[in-house]
Amino acid sequence: MFAYILKRLIYAIPIALSVTVVSFILVYLAPGDPLSAIAPADAPEEVIIALRSAYGLDQPVPVQYGLWLMRAVQGDLGLSIATGREVTSEVMRAVGNTLLLAGFAALIGVIAGCLFGALAGYRHGSWIDRIATALSVIGVSIPHYWLGLVLTILFSIWRPWFPAMGAGPGGSSEWLWDLEHFRYLVLPAVTLSVIPMGIITRTVRALVADMLGQEFVSALRARGLSGVAVFRHVAKNTAPTVLAVAGLQIGYLMGGSILVETVFAWPGTGFLLNTAIFQRDIPLLQGTILVLCMFFVVLNLLVDILQPMIDPRMGRA
Amino acid sequence: MTTPLLTVRDLSVQFHGNRVASALNQVSFELGQDEVLGLLGESGSGKSVTLRTLLRLHPARSTRIQGEIRVGGQDVLALKGRALDLYRGGTVSMVFQEPGLAFDPVYTIGRQITEAIRAHESIDARSAAARALQMLEMVQIPQARRRFDAYPHELSGGMRQRAMIALALACKPKLLLADEPTTALDATVQIQILLLLRELQRETGMSVIFVTHDIGAAVEVADRIAVMYAGRIVEQQPVDRIVHTPRHPYTEGLLAATVGPEHRGQPLRAIPGSPPDLAALPPGCSFAPRCAYVSEQCRRDRPPLLAADDQALACWHPVRGLVEAA
């Protein structure tokens, strides 16, 4: 097991490296000059040149990348061009907020998805199945910024139960685990949870329906195991696949919330990314993309390690 | 015969899907204590359906079951909830055809046997595990202690089937259903498993229904053989007689289609045609389209299953009459 984890960790290194290359290069492929955001339009030539060398933008791109990577490894992602604050601390604060939002959305999505999926799988072909399938298709198809707006209209304007914007009193830096702050979390989290819920519902439904038709489930019943005990077996057999799908979805949640975070003005990475793009804040953009990509790498690594712990047939080789 | 352990009376099973398939049609038979019945027939003849119906394994929503099943006085078709769970595996248990598919792949063998024991008896985990290990030793699995912690995919086919038998016998059932337990195994392993089953049956005195399409295997373990065709029992005789004096043309055909050293150099005599569509059974005898002795009556009227002494037959033109040989 230890050797397996080590192997997975080593495999993750080249992936992580290519991620840094892509997140660095991609930004250069985008049009626009970062200096236009800080220097006045009529700035004299020598000021522009001075700024350019101050930010290291006069160096060849590979050199810039090398320097950037060296510092990034040490946790220093440079200074934001727009605000002059440290990118690392900006990103980390946003990451905290996004994790909170994504975690809560994932919780809703995974729990509801597993529940609906299992119900639909057990009652394959019944009206419960049809409702669950319809809901999951709708969930996956609806644009979630639109859903966010509709939920805002319904539950913070028409029935003002939940606030529509921000992360509560104290803004982005002072999250507290109390009801007051929690209310700010509800609408964006529900909005975000709809897509993973739909995908997980469909996955679990297909897996459970397939599992119930398998010989070993008949054999479990033939042994006199109760319905609950049989369900435990079915659950453990479906878990590795559900885990892989859920892991991927949670990964999307971590970075895919630009639109929802913007709709709800939630101070997370998506919001930050949006700001960075519009301000051409290259260090901030690179840093945010890098951190988000690393989430995917780490999450996939976790799933890879967890899966064979549940299903003994996987891994080991 | 004293009161039989198992009585099946007029059992019919229909599967409702796009079409209605009549998988079993008014099947009746009895099985005594300590008796081994071989159910013989080709694929789709209703052998496995019979076993699965005995354990009520068919999905309730798409299956219609009529008739009566009694095991030790219990009305099986009326069992519900906990009583049904206790009956399954406790009174009647089953060995499946593919041991590779009949174990849950993500739990160890030992854990699954232990779990089955604890589902039937209030017994602590340690004693249940000890008994599970004992069962593995009983079915002669070498290094049973090591296999106890093995996952199903880590065992060979023969080993898995032994473990399956251990699991089936763990709660001391009165009746064991063996659904082609040797079909998926190598020829040499088949014989070992057959011998093991016979030995365990003699030791425990349980009754066994042994389903197979292999006459050789049936003869090896059974006391009595019932031949099934298209969801019906067409003939029943003690094993030593059916081989020499088959009465139903289908049984005769099955026996003629087996290969032995004395048949070397001769073409294999197969039964012409194929089994009927269970969703569109002919009105008369189901075997009529393939039968060499067929008459107008066979196509029109279904022959009833007539019993005499320890045998039964459903045929208008038997190869040998019931009375003549009795």
Q: Among B52, B105, B171, select the one facing A313 at the smallest CB separation.
A: B105
**Distance (Å, whole) CA B264 – CA B311:** 32
**Distance (Å, whole) CA A257 – CA A145:** 9
What pLDDT is stored for residue B152 in this prediction? 93
Average confidence (pLDDT) over B18-30: 90
In tens, the pLDDT along B159-211 reads: 999 999 999 999 999 999 999 988 888 888 888 889 999 999 999 999 999 99
Contact criterion met (CB < 8 Å) for A216 and B87: no
In tens, the pLDDT along B62-93 reads: 899 999 999 988 999 999 899 999 999 999 99
B20, part of any domain: no
**Distance (Å, whole) CA B132 – CA B282:** 49
In tens, the pLDDT along A104-119 reads: 999 999 999 999 999 9
Report domain A87-286's class. Answer: mainly alpha
Q: Which residue of B has its CA nearest to A240?
A: B106
CA of A225 vs chain B CAs: smallest distance (Å): 6
What pLDDT is stored for residue A174 in this prediction? 64
Average confidence (pLDDT) over B204-229: 91
Q: In what side-by-side order are the strands of the sheet with B63-71?
A: B20-31, B6-16, B63-71, B74-75
* Helix, strand or coil, per DSSP, at residue A258: helix
CA of B321 vs chain A CAs: smallest distance (Å): 40
Report the range out of A33-42, B83-92, B287-296 with the highest average pLDDT: B83-92
Q: Is the dihedral of CA A122, A127, A132, A133 positive or negative?
A: positive
What pLDDT is stored for residue A180 in this prediction? 79
Question: pLDDT at residue B325 above 60?
Answer: no
Report residue B136's pLDDT band, with 50, 70 and 90 as the boundaries: very high
Average confidence (pLDDT) over B268-289: 86
Closest CA to A222 of B173, B15, B291, B42: B173
Write the ipTM. Answer: 0.87
Task: Give me the number of domains chain B comprises.
Answer: 1
With contact defined as beta carbons under 8 Å apart, do B212 and B38 qualify? Answer: yes
Contact criterion met (CB < 8 Å) for A311 and B119: no
B12, part of any domain: no
**Distance (Å, whole) CA A234 – CA A118:** 10
Chain A contact for B107, CB < 8 A? yes
Specify which residues A137 forms β-bridges with: none
Chain A contact for B96, CB < 8 A? yes
Note the helical H segments in B24-152.
47-54, 81-90, 99-102, 109-120, 125-138, 144-148
B323, part of any domain: no
- Overall size of chain B counted in residues: 326
Chain A contact for B98, CB < 8 A? yes
What pLDDT is stored for residue A317 in this prediction? 41
Taking 3-state DSSP, the helix, strand and coil percentages for chain B, each rounded to the nearest 5, stand at 40, 20, 40
Q: Select the residue from A127, A215, A223, A226 to test the B interface by mutation, using most B Cβ atoms within 10 A.
A: A223
The DSSP line for A238-249 is HHHHHHHHHHHH
In tens, the pLDDT along B227-270 reads: 999 999 999 999 988 988 899 999 988 888 877 777 777 777 78
Half-sphere exposure of B134 (CA within 13 A, CB side): 11
B202, part of any domain: yes
B4, part of any domain: no
Report residue A175's pLDDT band, with 50, 70 and 90 as the boundaries: low
Tokens of A9: 């960790």
Q: What is the CATH number of the domain that holds B204?
A: 3.40.50.300
In tens, the pLDDT along A209-254 reads: 999 989 999 999 999 999 899 999 999 999 988 988 888 888 778 7
What pLDDT is stored for residue B105 in this prediction? 92
**Distance (Å, whole) CA B282 – CA A129:** 38
B19, part of any domain: no
Full residue range of the structural domain in which residue B125 is found: 34-48+80-259+270-313
